[in-house]
Structure 1
Amino acid sequence: MKKICFFLLLIPSLLVAQKTTILKGTVRDSKKNPIEKVSIKVGKIGTITDENGKYQIRIPFKEEVTLFFSHVSYRTFSKKFTAKSRNAIRFSPILSLKTEQLDEIVIKDHKKKAQGFTKIDVKKAINIVGPNAGVENVLMTLPGVSNNNELSTQYNVRGGNFDENLVYVNGIEVYRPFLIRSGQQEGLSFINSNMVQNINFSAGGFQAKYGDKLSSVLDITYRNPTETATTIDASLLGASVTFEGNFLNKKLSTITGVRYRDNSLFVNSKQIETNFRPRFTDVQTYLTYDFSEKFSLNFLGNFSLNNYNYQPLSRRTRFGTVAEPLELIVYYSGQERDKYLTMFGALSADYNMNDNFKLTATASRYNTQEEEHFDIAAQYNLGEVDANIGSENFGEVEFSQGIGSQLNHARNDLDALITNFQIKGTIKKGKTEWSFGVKYQKEEIKDRIREWEIIDSLGFSIRPPSHAANNEPYEPFEGDITAYQNIRKDNEVSINRVSGFVQFNQRSFWSDHEIFYNLGVRAHNWSVLGNGIQSKNKTIVSPRAQFAIKPNWEKDMLFRISGGLYAQPPSYRELRNFNGDINVEVKAQKSIHYVAGMDYSFDMWQRPFKLTTELYYKDLSDVNAYTIDNVRIRYRADNVTTAYAHGLDVRLNGEFVPGNESWVSLGYLKTEENINNQGTIARPSDQRIKFGILFQDYVPNLPDLKAYLNLVYNTGLPGGSPSYSDPYNFQQRLRDYKRADLGISYVFTDVNKRYSEGWLSNFKELTAGLELFNMFDIQNSITNTWVRDVYSKTQFGIPNFMTGRVLNFKIGMKF
């Protein structure tokens, strides 16, 4: 029934088009290039165009008004309008220059499309509804991007894992914690959505300037403020404050954000009864000081503190079939106390010699101090439930199949320090652009691992999987009692890296068709010193290329192909195997990308739409195979695996409802691996079908009452097996992932609705709303708990369900 409701909700949402009094369009110059920061006013209401020249403003219904379009470099233009209906009006004026003709401007939108980037509206990242609302939550509605854990901001892209994604903020690479096991430990993403200006995402086939990873690039730009403002957001899940402004005669611009997050609301909806208060705090700032038009200094800083105190009490889970239901009851004692302290600072200098030559030098340092300490004992009873409706004990456990206990212990401490220095440059000449860069990076990691697990079944300690067979309880075992899992290691690792790139870009014309192409190459040299053992110096070279053509057709279409060799030299996580040992000779994983795509922009229902498709194939070698438990990845550290991934991504975005952009995405993926020539099996990220919808709507007669709907359906992942197991013995899949989140908000005031008097005149923006997470209360699982049946000597995988239905209230304001 839940599945039926899930899809029925979709049909009316997509078909109903509401009426509106919105005037929107794109302001361009005489060469059809968009103009940014054009002021548009009607009466006391005003707005400005974005970097793509787009604007949107509300005008009165059945009343003649005059719109004024003004810009410092263009002649002011005015136009009278009378909205005779509430249907959206589109108007895209052409402004004339006040002075002589300027140099040719490259259309940024076409350039990003040609590079294979998806540009995401910042407002969607702020307004999207979801447990971890923000940039990553928007990504998970795109085809080819998936994550079945709503408490995690990590994501898989086209068959890769969490460690294969590059994330940049203002050209500076940022990192994820090392010891995180579960999504509920993660807390806040590094990216503060309230500070973001631009979001660009590539799911593969990206340029040589974007680092050495196998899967994707998320390129974030924080904004340089143009006004003084304070933004406050608050909800039952936490709060944030963002301040921005210009000082010292506008030479200094600053934007600073403070965030606090409390996931108790979600944790209390889970099946495990706990004393639990996961709290996360961070402070982030971006400063820019302009010494002159040519030279400026920038600073990006972040301080993050995550405290995770977890004390489970009990758990009750029913599973199995209607005819043979089973129930697991667990009573816990003990607790987990984790702490993650992260500090990051980056100083960069920009030097613009002229319009054609630019240099940027960056120095950054990242430090993470992580503690994972727990002692948790569990006593469990696995029993058969009475399924006889006429029985007096119907629904109660009548027979115990397995009784036992388990004790998990850890005292894991990690300290990582990553320091790098980088110089990048750009040289332009007409429609040709050369980019180059060189980077030195040093990683120093100290890791202390003390982790063991003891399992007891009916008073008999269970030996490790690799232990010699015994015939207990029929024959006594006289050996020592050993832990089921036991890792005791002290690792000290130092990695030195030198990398660089050079690439050539050109935009030109072939007959009347516009073409873009890019040729680039990266080189990466590294060496590892681990526990006193020095590796050989290794070097990998990665050539990459892109080509796109925009035909001079009546239909607005763009075709592109891209590919190359992508390599991922090992990080510390990839050097450490299941037992905590370091292999300093781990090689770089390699992947050859082939990507072909098409963008088709068209009008439907007199509104703009765009269809984007991409077909891809990845051939992987020297793969470092891994297992995954929740969000914890454990590598083999041996490079004895080959793999492949292929698929198709389709995305349709546009104004399904006038004035509001939404999208529907569909992805197909197949990825398999062959570990040490044992045969081909599905990789842990083999999620065959991905379907997502991000939908916006509003009430026709009350357009300031808006609704946001986020729907995701993913087929089940391989997984749920014990982390220590042989993946060839556990190829069953988890259940399909289905989720629907709904948000409703009312806009009291914003840039299109300002008040000159009354209490609302104190706000630049004011919104309030409700969010309903997992509104169908679907039970999704990410892992299994494995319990042994002493009679059949088999194991049962009991699903660990994630969060249920949760209601949240939020309010946002800007002064």
Structure 2
Amino acid sequence: MKTYIRSLTLLLLCITGSALAQNATIKGVILDENNVPIPAVNVTAGNGLGTQTNFDGYYILEVPSGQEITITFSHVSHKNAVITIPRLEPNEDFELNPVLKVDVEQIATVVVSANQRKRVQGLTTISPEAIRKIPGANAGVENLLKSLPGVVSNNELSTQYAVRGGNYDENLVYVNEIEVYRPFLIRSGQQEGLSFVNSDLTRSVDFSAGGFQAKYGDKLSSVLDIEYRRPVSFGATADLSLLGASVSVEGISKNERLRGIVGMRYRDNSLFVDAKQTETNFQPRFADVQTYLTYKFSNKFELGFLGNVAINQYDYEPLTRQTNFGTLADPIALLVFYEGQEKDRYNTYFGALKGTYAVSDTYTAKFIGSAYQTTEQEYFDILAQYRLGEVNTNIGDDNLGEVEFSEGIGSQLTHARNDLDALIFNAQHKGIFSLSDETTIEYGVKYTHEDIRDRVQEYEIIDSAGFSIRPPIIDFANNQPYEPFEAPIVPFTDIRAENDVQIDRFSGFVQWSKATTLGSNDLWLNAGVRSQNWTVSGDGIESVTQTVVSPRAQISLKPDWEMDMLFRLSGGFYHQPPFYRELRDSTGTVRPGVKAQQSIHIVLGNDYSFNLWDRPFTLNSEVYYKDLTNVNPYTLENVRIRYRARNNAVAYAYGLDMRLAGEFVPGTESWVSFGYLKTEENIDDRGYIFRPTDQRLKFAVLFQDYVKIIPDLKMYLNLVYQTGLPGGSPSYADPYDFQTRLPDYKRADLGVSYVLVHDKKQKDSGILKPFKELSIGAEIFNIFDVRNSITNTFVRDVYTKTQYSIPNFLSPRVFNVRLTAKF
């Protein structure tokens, strides 16, 4: 109870003010020639912003102030209306009520070309509607990210992803400019439950796989920038399936000053875990509540609040497991009998306040404050007794498939009592100077305090045929029978540590952006620099302070050609100062002197927009190179990362990413992705070996379709093929001795839905009348029932002394039903 009170207090104390960007508001009602409101009208601004009218024809759209804005109103049954609005004051409310006609296209003043801001920055924009519809074992934003080139994940139950050779800890995630975090201790994807990002609340999703600007934080690999919706009317959604449920409600006050949206989710992974090879008693309970509220005090000041409470409880009791592997000529099986259980808890509490103050027409100030707390426990005692042997392959035999001759017998006892309590405070100020329509200066300063209390108590005991296995210590010698063995019996691994660590960080950035011309060609320039100073201290820890500086730049050129081409070159120095997990080595000891990993990153990109079959398409291509120094090597097991906490390696990564996106089927969004990556590291100058995320080739397809004669019957397909990742190594083993790869990862998820109610198919009476949209569908995960593996378990044969790497398989084919509704 004290923890909950403490966490709620933190949410209330997390205060700061600030004013968001220099925005104005355009709103109104769109009518037809008979003065009847028109629903589902697309309202888009020339800078990529957009919305849609509700069933009363009402819309509201936030646009930048201080510049002319071109608004396009489009509807399938009416001609477009294109209207240019003069410059609006910051936070000004402007009412515009156009009338759409059936036969005459309307153009008021001059139509200006669309702003290229996101293309210039190299950001990939993902449709929130596609996020909500595309099937996946862990559906959401991350599910679609994994279909992009350069993004790697071979675990469908995890929301974590690696980008261009990096690991899961090297990705920035922002929601409404507020950095969000994930739990520390999670070991496997089936323990994760829910991503922080709630797709029901999402308005826009932008993603950069590298070469991002200085305004983004200090990570090596990628940026995911999420914006939550600002409601324009009352609405509600519900999504129900065998995997859980989600509900969201949104609304706006009468005076239109207060807007709010609340989302609640529940997740249950037992559908997948029960289908795996390990028979278990499994009781997962993953739930969260999230809200985003804004209040407009005046035309110059607005305050927003983002809050999240997540309760994740994972109870796991394995019973038996049989894994068949080997070849047809020499089949081998691992049969395991379990005793014991695992009980894990990952509870997180997050609150942030963000204010907006438009100081003048040319200057906007922002102040953001946030607090994050995670309390985690990882308790388990599991005894696994195994038999490794030959499998009966006699067809028709009653014992077909069973182990009939044991080559190895042993047991493994794993124990853990791990607790972690982390508290993170952030206070940040950002500012934007608009020197002109073409030139902008942005800056920011940030203070972060991290307070981590961590207890690690875990051990592993392994015996084979009754003999206890010692840890593979190089200088240990057993000279029996010539000399008596007097060393004590010790566990194979034994980690005991208690850490009380505080980290204080001061960071800041400044960047300059300019839009200009080079002859008749459009040119965009960006240059900036980041810096961070951090101090690690704590109980029994010698205080260490370090500083890094990261200059970055971008240049984009749009030639004056008939073809719509954009060329982009970006790069610079990217540093990742160590977070707590990167400071803790394999013994649990905190090493405060760990340096920031450094990457010199260069990205050359091209965007080519064209029409094919009279429909829009875009081909995005990027080549990149990373030169990494001060690398902190790590081992990867499922989604758990364990660092060596030593900057004793160098590395490199290079590759090619390509994506063709467009309307392969009219009115839908689909894409095909291809990625090539090579990344290697050199530890202690011993030569280059694969990095744990060395994913050489990737193909992905995201496809949407519908039946032409029954357009309400829709299909969604998500295909991924990836060559195998390195298979890892046993605990404490030398990674140079284990350079094998897992089998290729192949997965296809299919969703089929039928829309019962939508804007053109509403019911005037009956039980369907309350619904604005209602659909029912079925999903098949892993439709080809491919046996993908995530890690290897290493077991030794006591007769031949052979050590087998036994794959730990992921989920097989699984069926799901789904109901989605909007009110």
| Equivalent residues of 2:166, 2:221 under 8 A apart | yes
1:275 to 274, 278, 281: 281
CA-to-aligned-CA distance 1:153-199 (integer Å, 9 cap, x gap) = 00000000000000000000001110000000111000000001010
1:392-471 matches, within 5 Å, as: 395-430=401-436, 431-466=438-473, 468-470=476-478
- Displacement of 1:454 in angstroms is 0.3
2:101 to 71, 78, 94: 78
Residue equivalent to 1:335: 341
- Displacement of 1:38 in angstroms is 7.2
Residue equivalent to 2:141: 135
Identical columns (%): 58
Residue 589 of structure 2 aligns with an amino acid whose one-letter code is D
- Displacement of 1:28 in angstroms is 7.6
Residue equivalent to 2:567: 559
Unaligned runs of 5+ in 1: 1-22, 60-65, 82-92
| Equivalent residues of 1:47, 1:56 under 8 A apart | no
Residue 213 of structure 1 aligns with an amino acid whose one-letter code is K
| Equivalent residues of 1:68, 1:76 under 8 A apart | no
1:515 to 520, 523, 541: 523
Q: 1:107 to 1:428 in 2, by over 3 A?
A: farther
Query: 2:328 is paired with a residue of what secondary structure?
Result: coil
Query: 2:210 is paired with a residue of what secondary structure?
Result: coil
| Equivalent residues of 1:303, 1:344 under 8 A apart | yes
Q: 1 CA distance for matches of 2:396 and 2:766?
A: 67
Q: 1:697 to 1:472 in 2, by over 3 A?
A: farther
CA-to-aligned-CA distance 1:349-369 (integer Å, 9 cap, x gap) = 110123321111011100000
Matched, 1:687 2:710: no
Residue equivalent to 1:715: 723
- Displacement of 1:655 in angstroms is 0.8
Q: 1:33 to 1:275 in 2, by over 3 A?
A: closer
Q: 1 CA distance for matches of 2:648 and 2:804?
A: 31
Unaligned runs of 5+ in 2: 1-38, 64-69, 84-94
2:161 to 128, 147, 155: 155
- Displacement of 1:551 in angstroms is 1.4
Residue equivalent to 1:112: 118
Residue equivalent to 1:251: 257
TM-score (norm 2): 0.89
Q: 1:53 to 1:734 in 2, by over 3 A?
A: farther
- Displacement of 1:752 in angstroms is 4.4
Q: 2 CA distance for matches of 1:145 and 1:466?
A: 37
Residue equivalent to 1:20: none
Q: 2 CA distance for matches of 1:378 and 1:814?
A: 48
Q: 1:27 to 1:268 in 2, by over 3 A?
A: closer
Q: 1:78 to 1:329 in 2, by over 3 A?
A: same
Q: 2 CA distance for matches of 1:35 and 1:418?
A: 33
1:349-368 matches, within 5 Å, as: 349-368=355-374
1:345 to 328, 351, 369: 351
CA-to-aligned-CA distance 1:614-664 (integer Å, 9 cap, x gap) = 000000000001000000000011101000000000000011111111000
Q: 1:272 to 1:57 in 2, by over 3 A?
A: farther
CA-to-aligned-CA distance 1:82-115 (integer Å, 9 cap, x gap) = xxxxxxxxxxx56315xxx8xx98844x110000
- Displacement of 1:429 in angstroms is 2.1
Query: Which has the larger displacement, 266-275 or 743-752?
Result: 743-752
- Displacement of 1:780 in angstroms is 0.3
CA-to-aligned-CA distance 1:333-357 (integer Å, 9 cap, x gap) = 0000000110000011110123321
Matched, 1:540 2:554: no
| Equivalent residues of 2:72, 2:81 under 8 A apart | no
| Equivalent residues of 2:422, 2:452 under 8 A apart | yes
CA-to-aligned-CA distance 1:576-629 (integer Å, 9 cap, x gap) = 011111110000000001000000011111111110000000000000010000
Query: 2:119 is paired with a residue of what secondary structure?
Result: helix
Query: 1:278 is paired with a residue of what secondary structure?
Result: strand
1:96 to 91, 108, 112: 108
Residue equivalent to 1:502: 510
Q: 1 CA distance for matches of 2:295 and 2:510?
A: 29
| Equivalent residues of 2:239, 2:247 under 8 A apart | yes
- Displacement of 1:517 in angstroms is 1.1
| Equivalent residues of 2:578, 2:596 under 8 A apart | yes
Query: 2:130 is paired with a residue of what secondary structure?
Result: helix
Q: 2 CA distance for matches of 1:731 and 1:227?
A: 57
Residue 522 of structure 1 aligns with an amino acid whose one-letter code is R
| Equivalent residues of 1:720, 1:782 under 8 A apart | no
- Displacement of 1:40 in angstroms is 10
Q: 2 CA distance for matches of 1:474 and 1:737?
A: 50
Residue equivalent to 1:369: 375
1:220 to 198, 216, 226: 226
1:607 to 600, 615, 620: 615
Query: 1:791 is paired with a residue of what secondary structure?
Result: coil
1:286 to 272, 283, 292: 292
- Displacement of 1:793 in angstroms is 1.7
Residue 274 of structure 1 aligns with an amino acid whose one-letter code is T
Residue equivalent to 2:313: 307
**What value does the CA root-mean-square deviation take over the aligned residues?**
2.5
Q: 1:483 to 1:693 in 2, by over 3 A?
A: same
- Displacement of 1:478 in angstroms is 3.5
Matched, 1:620 2:628: yes
Count of equivalent residues? 766
Q: 2 CA distance for matches of 1:228 and 1:24?
A: 16
Query: 1:705 is paired with a residue of what secondary structure?
Result: strand
CA-to-aligned-CA distance 1:284-328 (integer Å, 9 cap, x gap) = 011101000110111100000000000000001110011111111
Query: Which has the larger displacement, 736-745 or 248-257?
Result: 248-257
Q: 2 CA distance for matches of 1:470 and 1:77?
A: 89
Q: 1:53 to 1:705 in 2, by over 3 A?
A: farther
Q: 2 CA distance for matches of 1:348 and 1:395?
A: 61
Residue 258 of structure 2 aligns with an amino acid whose one-letter code is L
Residue equivalent to 2:661: 653
CA-to-aligned-CA distance 1:529-561 (integer Å, 9 cap, x gap) = 143223332110000000101112111111100
Q: 1:472 to 1:652 in 2, by over 3 A?
A: farther
Q: 2 CA distance for matches of 1:302 and 1:421?
A: 18
Residue 133 of structure 2 aligns with an amino acid whose one-letter code is N
Q: 1:440 to 1:76 in 2, by over 3 A?
A: same
Q: 2 CA distance for matches of 1:524 and 1:722?
A: 36
Q: 2 CA distance for matches of 1:215 and 1:174?
A: 16
Residue equivalent to 1:18: none
Q: 1:191 to 1:105 in 2, by over 3 A?
A: farther
